[in-house]
A = this chain, B = another copy of it.
Amino acid sequence: MSGSLTVIGLGPGNAAQVTPEALAAIEAGEDFFGYGPYVDRLNLRDDQRRHASDNREEISRAEAALMLAAKGGRVCVVSGGDAGVFAMAAAVCEAIEAGPAEWREIHFSVVPGITAMLAVAARVGAPLGHDFCAISLSDNLKPWELIEKRLIAAAEAGFVMAFYNPVSKARPHQLSRAFDVLRAHLPGSVTVVFGRAAGRPDERMRIEPLSNAHSDMADMATCIIVGSTETRLIERPGQAPLVYSPRSAGKI
C-alpha cells in the first residue's frame, strides 16, 4: 500500500509567511526530510520524526523519502521558499522518474510557498512589476556557458532578473562574472537589489547601481534582483527608496 509524499515550501523564513496549507500538511505528516535548517523551523510533535540532511544531498534525501512513502508512510519533504523553485520538488520528481515503478503510485503533492524573489521584491517596492526571469547562478548542474547565454538573452530582451544561489564557498567567482557579463549588455545605471534574509531578523536590503554591484555584497542567503532599463528608483525623505518596474514597457 502506497503512502504519500508532500513537498512543502516554508517561505523565506518568517513564520508569518508560512501558509495555512503548509501548516496543515506538516500537521498531517509523520516523517520529515530536509536540509537541517529547514527541518529546524518545524515545531514537530513527539510522534513526528525528523530526518535532517546536508544541503548537497538532494537526490539521496528524495530517495529516502520515497522509500518510506512507498511503504505506506505519510512523508513530508520541506524546502525554504517555494518547493518548486530551485528546491526539492524537482529533485523528488527526478527520483520518481529514475526509480522503481511503485514510486509512481505514491500520492505525490506539492505545497507552494513564498519564494525569495517575491519576499525581496515586496521589501523594496515592486521590481518584478513587469516581465522577469529567475536564474540559478550555480554551475554545479549546468555549464557556465549556458548561464551566460541566459543572462545575455534576458538583458537584451529587457527582462528583470532574479538570481538564486548567487554564491557559495565552492563557487566564489560566478556572481562577479555574471555582473561583468551584464555590464557589457546593460547601462551601469540599472538598479540592483541585494536582498538578504527577507523577513528575518537579520534581513538586509541593499540597493546599488549595476556599475557598483560587487559579489561581496551577497552571501548564500541573498536573492539578487537586477532591474531592466525601465526599472525606476523613487527617492523618499526619511525612508529607503522604492524600486519598481512600471507595468508598461517599450514604446507603444
Contacts and interface: CB of A to CB of B under 8 A. Distances in A.
Interface of A: 9, 11, 14-21, 24, 58, 82-87, 89-94, 96-97, 104-105, 107-115, 118-119, 121-123, 125-136, 139, 141-143, 145-146, 149-150, 153-154, 156-159, 232, 234-239, 242, 244-252
Contacts of A246: 90, 93-94
List the 6 closest A-B pairs by CB distance, nearest first.
A90-B129, A93-B244, A133-B133, A153-B157, A89-B126, A141-B248
A237 B156 CA distance: 44
B132 A134 contact: yes
22 contacts: A17-B19, A17-B21, A83-B122, A85-B128, A89-B129, A90-B130, A90-B244, A93-B232, A94-B246, A104-B239, A105-B238, A108-B242, A110-B126, A111-B122, A112-B119, A112-B121, A131-B133, A132-B134, A141-B248, A141-B252, A143-B251, A150-B157
A224 to B, nearest CB: 14
Contacts of A236: 104-105
